Structure 1
Amino acid sequence: MTQNKTDEPLTLDEIHHVTLDVLKKIQEICKAHQITYFVAYGSLIGAVRHKGFIPWDDDFDIMMLRPDYDRFCKVCNESINGHGDYALMNPDNNKDYPFNISRFCDLRYRMVRDDNEPDAGMGIFIDIYPLDGLGSNISTIKGTLNETKQLLLHLAGIARSPKIFVPKHNIIKKIFRLPIWMVARLLGGRFFYRLMEKIITQYDFTESKYVGCFVWDGGMVFYPKTYFERTISLQFEEIAVDAPKEYDKVLRIVYGDYMELPPQEEQHPTHGYQIFRKV
């Protein structure tokens, strides 16, 4: 019996090929509406170090300053979502979507996850991270703002988890976790994400000296806003992508010596899912 092409998960090379097409669609939207984006995180390392994808990387990351991010979401909700093979997903337009960043998805593919998170209809996707204004006081960013972020991310994670207890916790921690889990589950992860967004709007973006992704990441990573005042074009596979003019400084804040390859045992995809064609 011949196996249908929809029965086999895409290879990493196939995911890379489709992801480039998704990126081209994002670039088309940004050009038409004069929206600035920046290749980010591992994808930026790939552009600088490999002139394309990191060979073992299985996704693509973009950053946008909050004003551009909000405009991009508005454009997609008005003219992209429900009008073809692509859709932007975020907590505002998909109740099953579990994250507080946006994902621009190719709906001709389906995701099968091996964790407890819902797939929310995502196919092959590109992550889009908003960079919010964090004010101008480094002590506050590293202190109160960081502590608030860690707490709310932790509570949001508990709210999404169907497991009451974590095996490594002792009896005392389990006793304390039970009421926290019950309240967090009742409120839902979206409650904590909305609270994060409300908190971060207290800082005026225009007046802020520093920016960072407050609604994602484990730690409080922040950058001088001036690093994102200008873009530079970098080669990525067969296309050109936009990066922060100060991409070296941006990458060193997050990764240190990003040009050094990680150990061989760490050179593998890090996300728990497979991608299949729908048709």
Structure 2
Amino acid sequence: MTGTFNTGETRESLRKEYNPDGSVLRQAQLRLLDMLDYLKAAAAEAGVAWRLDGGNVLGALRHGGFIPWDDDVDIVVDHKDYRRFCTYLKRHPHPQFVLQDNSTDPGYLKSWASLRDTKSEHLSTENENSRDRKALEIMKYRGLHIDIFPYEDRILPSLQRLAGKLACVVNFRLSPDHPHWAQAGYAFLEHGVFPVFRLFGQLFGKKGAYMHTYGTWFYERFPERVLRPYREIRFEGRTYNGPAEPEEFCGIIYGNYNDLPPKDKRNRHQVTVRFL
């Protein structure tokens, strides 16, 4: 997109306001690009297909890269390839980036993995008693991160929503004050509840309708034709995999995705970044 947004702002004015060169946010975005390039190369070596997800696809279409106020990068891989990719990353460690899952960080209780930067740290600016701050501070690795989500079809949306609620209980209610109960809850969900949900999905779910895996808290469902085959998209002047129909993909998630939200609705994380 070029020209002026619905708010009267332009790409240039947004960049000046939110992430100018040399700002902490821009430094974080550039570090994330280095991490993304590493994952791109590692996925090629491991023979794993992947693509950018969510706000990164939106950012590519609307801003040519990062949403100016955002420091998120998310990728997805097929559920069948997910564990193999995580194993590859752990067996071929990077000198600065580490694969974070429950096996490398007992305080990490999510159904997806993250690639973490060990030369930075997220510092929460929320109240010290907030659930998000406590959930962050219980983790071993707290640097800039790229989430790696498993993706699969035949998920039952009702069970996906229930799975997300259960995962939030473990991550935000139990983990800060009851880590042993949280660890037990995580194991029960991952090895007991979610495999049963997946079995029901294989029996009754819709083939070719894809969602994030059980235990995530993202609930959009996409027909396969919107996602595959993956299509190259430009992001910050670099080329990465995106969905087959990125415009339709963003429409499903965001509606009128070319419109900017009001300033008070721009989702900026309540954290700052310290570079080590």
Distance 1:191 1:46, change over 3 A: same
Aligned to 1:234: 233
CA RMSD between the two structures: 2.7
Asked if 1:198 is matched to 2:168, the reply is no
Aligned to 1:58: 71
8 Å CA contact retained: 1:133, 1:200: no
Distance apart, 1:124 and its partner CA: 1.4
Distance 1:249 1:216, change over 3 A: farther
Asked if 1:116 is matched to 2:134, the reply is yes
2:134 is paired with a residue whose SS is coil
> Who wins on radius of gyration, i.e. which is larger?
1
Separation in structure 2 between the aligned mates of residue 186 and residue 40 of structure 1, nearest angstrom = 28
Distance apart, 1:260 and its partner CA: 1.1
1:229 alignment partner AA: R
8 Å CA contact retained: 2:106, 2:183: no
- Listed one character per residue, the Cα deviations across residues 16-41 of structure 1 (whole Å, up to 9, x for unaligned) are 11111111101111122221111111
- Listed one character per residue, the Cα deviations across residues 195-242 of structure 1 (whole Å, up to 9, x for unaligned) are 45423442459x932221133554532222343321111111121111
Distance 1:125 1:219, change over 3 A: closer
1:273 alignment partner AA: V
1:111 is paired with a residue whose SS is strand
1:152 is paired with a residue whose SS is helix
Aligned to 1:31: 44
Aligned to 2:260: 261
Aligned to 1:41: 54
Separation in structure 2 between the aligned mates of residue 264 and residue 155 of structure 1, nearest angstrom = 31
Distance apart, 1:190 and its partner CA: 4.2
Aligned to 1:272: 270
8 Å CA contact retained: 1:105, 1:126: yes
2:253 alignment partner AA: V
1:176-215 equivalence runs, <5 A: 187-202=184-199, 203-204=201-202, 208-215=207-214
Aligned to 1:138: none
Aligned to 2:89: 76
Distance apart, 1:54 and its partner CA: 0.4
Separation in structure 1 between the aligned mates of residue 267 and residue 78 of structure 2, nearest angstrom = 30
The total of aligned residue pairs comes to: 241
Distance apart, 1:95 and its partner CA: 0.9
Distance 1:92 1:196, change over 3 A: farther
Report % sequence identity.
21
1:116 is paired with a residue whose SS is helix
Asked if 1:129 is matched to 2:149, the reply is yes
Distance 1:229 1:200, change over 3 A: farther
Aligned to 2:166: 152
The TM-score normalised by the length of structure 2 is 0.77
Distance 1:74 1:14, change over 3 A: same
Q: Unaligned stretches of 5+ in structure 1?
A: 1-9, 136-140, 163-180
Separation in structure 2 between the aligned mates of residue 85 and residue 33 of structure 1, nearest angstrom = 19
8 Å CA contact retained: 1:102, 1:128: yes
Distance 1:196 1:249, change over 3 A: farther
Separation in structure 2 between the aligned mates of residue 198 and residue 49 of structure 1, nearest angstrom = 38
With 214-223 and 47-56 compared, the bigger mean Cα shift is at 214-223
2:174 alignment partner AA: A
The TM-score normalised by the length of structure 1 is 0.76
1:37 alignment partner AA: W
Aligned to 2:13: none
2:246 alignment partner AA: Y
1:97-116 equivalence runs, <5 A: 97-113=108-124, 114=126, 115-116=133-134
Distance apart, 1:73 and its partner CA: 0.7
Aligned to 1:14: 27
1:18 is paired with a residue whose SS is helix
Separation in structure 2 between the aligned mates of residue 187 and residue 103 of structure 1, nearest angstrom = 21
Distance 1:154 1:262, change over 3 A: same
2:85 alignment partner AA: F
- Listed one character per residue, the Cα deviations across residues 58-105 of structure 1 (whole Å, up to 9, x for unaligned) are 21111112123222112112112xx51111111233212132211111
Separation in structure 2 between the aligned mates of residue 51 and residue 186 of structure 1, nearest angstrom = 40
